[in-house]
Amino acid sequence: MLSILFHKPRGNLLFSILFILILTQCGPRHLPPGDPDLGGLQVPNGFEVVVVADSVGKARHLAVKNNGDVYVKLRYPQPEGENIALRDTDGDGKADIIKYWGDYGAKGNYGTAMRIHKGYIYVSTAGEVYRHKLSRKLMPSETAELLLIDDYKNAEHGYEHIAKPITFDDQGHMYVPFGSPGDVCQIDNRRPGSPGQFPCPELEWHGGVWQFSDSKPNQLQKDGKRYATGIRSIVGMDWNHQERTLYALQHGRDNMHRTSPDHFSPRQSALLPSEELLRVDEGSDAGWPYVYYDQMKEQKLINPEYLNEADAIRDPSTFTQPIIGFPGHFAPNDLLFYDADQFPEYYRHGAFVAFHGSTIRAPYPQAGYFIGFIPWQDGKLSTTWDVFADGFAGVDTIINTSDADHRPMGLALGPDGSLYISESEKGKIWRVMFKGDKETFGADDLVAMEKHKLLPHIKTPDEVLDNLDPVRAKAGAGLYNTYCGACHLADGQGDGTRYPSLHNSARVSGDNDTLINILLQGLQGQIIVHGQAFDGVMPSFDYLENEQIAQILTYLRQSFGNEGPSINAGEVQRARRRLSRQAQRAQEEDI
């Protein structure tokens, strides 16, 4: 066809050149072949999947330019740059040019945003939002324009939820959430029994969404407008151009059994609170930290920390209610409205959700790790959802987060209507395409994916049958005999002289962090156990893996007359990080 164009009269040469430029800038005209194994994923009938790139680095969100170039935000900056640019030059769907770019001196590792808007690519670190000018070249302009600076208000309370996802409306506004500094605005953050602060002072500058200019440089939070409040933590959000409304996915509070064991069982803690899909209207209030949503009861309830303030807190039903209450700890990390026409009409204007996957569902299987879809029906989002893509984890029963091969993170729409997906473990990028018959696509093509809701990493767990503690305790027994039995003996009684008994031990059944620290740091100096003094030295076992330590401690808490909740690998990992920070601060003080 190009040769025909160039054989037209000379007067049409300009038209021909313009036509070619339009073709090259509007993205690929033909879909590349999918991988025979669908990139390791399961998707509905008629869809194909090609792996665009693999192992490029732990990826956060991504964006796709109108010529098909892909841009990815990295969680951990590389020496070459904090972002990646990918280009497919031969049309096979796989990136053959991979370049790193961008150096912001990133604070923290929760930079999230990678969005294209008005000819710029917007990027966030944990503390700033930048933009770079795009051109026909793969690499954006090296000049980074600083648009927003987080001045870390409430930092004295700690600052936990510092991801900076962004989205844009049609009126020149940029929306940025400022997550809560802690879990539920307690006087002592995450301490069992500590009451919640009422009114919560953190809400002045956090726990909500702020509206800014999408082009004004060097904005501070005070330069924006608080658009909505009562939302603990947002990583996934998108502007709905059909309704001209913001939608966001709330990460619910953490381990409720540990914080309020009198109110929540381990199973309730695994399922609650709900991860809420919210329509975020200006001035709305979703109720954090005073209330949480229970998807099983289909209502908002007052958090235990605020029961003494129940009379002063407004009726929970008057707070913004979710469109859908997903099960707890699915970790919804991106939201994308599908405003394209490659996919069947069923997907038109609906919303895709990337569920990154849980870390704190023990003693039940970790959950999430898939791409969900919510149809658009009768001019609004449905209250039901599908499993659109699964297989990221590589296993169905995920005991620990580290068992998952991949964790879906970001979503982006290609110029031809393809869906791009990033993941955060190795940095794999998928492109999902529809090659079937759009006219005949229907319910029968969704049946196979509907069955995925019965898999351990998606279904509501049975309280007894799906409890994994017996499995983990059995593994812990072997590790105990290897690393602990020589001193404390196989029956846990110790030798009565140098090594104390572990039976009915207050330390074993007590605070999780204290128990974990004993294995990570060791123990020395005199201790009193059942009225007897012991003055030996217990070495550190910090060389063991997080899950090995968690299994040993879970075994101890289910043996020798002890009673206590299981320990998971995530708790051990957090304890390691906390001890590392303490050691670093101590070293800095010595210097």
Cβ of 241: how many Cβ atoms within 10 Å? 12
For the residues 124-133, what does the mean pLDDT come to? 95
**Helix residue ranges, H only, 260-380:** 266-271
Range with the poorest average pLDDT among 120-134, 376-390, 483-497: 483-497
Identify the pLDDT of residue 108: 64
Identify the pLDDT of residue 522: 92
For residue 544, pLDDT over 50 is answered with yes
Give, for 208, the enclosing helix (H) or strand (E): strand 208-213
Global confidence as pTM: 0.85
Strands 408-413 and 419-423: antiparallel
Q: At what angle do helices 546-557 and 469-483 cross, to 10 degrees?
A: 100
Beta pairing partners, 99: 85
> What is the chain's mean pLDDT, rounded?
91
For residue 230, pLDDT over 90 is answered with yes
Identify the pLDDT of residue 401: 87
Range with the poorest average pLDDT among 182-186, 239-243, 289-293, 397-401: 397-401
Identify the pLDDT of residue 17: 43
For residue 469, pLDDT over 60 is answered with yes
Range with the poorest average pLDDT among 202-211, 329-338, 521-530: 521-530
For residue 581, pLDDT over 90 is answered with no
Handedness of CA 293, 391, 56, 166 (dihedral sign): negative
DSSP 287: -
**Higher pLDDT residue, 174 or 534?**
174
| Topology at the third CATH level for domain 31-454 | Neuraminidase (2.120.10)
From the options 1.10.760.10, 3.60.21.10, 3.30.70.360, 3.30.1280.10, give the CATH code of 469-590.
1.10.760.10
Query: Under a CB-based contact definition with an 8 Å cutoff, are residues 520 and 512 in contact?
Result: no
Identify the pLDDT of residue 23: 40
For residue 22, pLDDT over 80 is answered with no
**Helix residue ranges, H only, 419-563:** 447-450, 469-483, 485-488, 506-509, 512-521, 546-557
The pair of structure tokens assigned to 145 is 């324009």
Identify the pLDDT of residue 9: 41
**Higher pLDDT residue, 566 or 44?**
44
Strands 324-326 and 114-117: unpaired
For 307-342, write each residue's pLDDT tens digit.
999 999 999 999 999 999 999 999 999 999 999 999
Residue-range domain boundaries for the chain? 1-30, 31-454, 469-590
Q: Band the pLDDT of 155: cuts 50, 70, 90.
A: low
Strands 145-149 and 219-220: parallel
For residue 274, pLDDT over 90 is answered with yes
Query: Under a CB-based contact definition with an 8 Å cutoff, are residues 211 and 315 in contact?
Result: no
For residue 5, pLDDT over 50 is answered with no
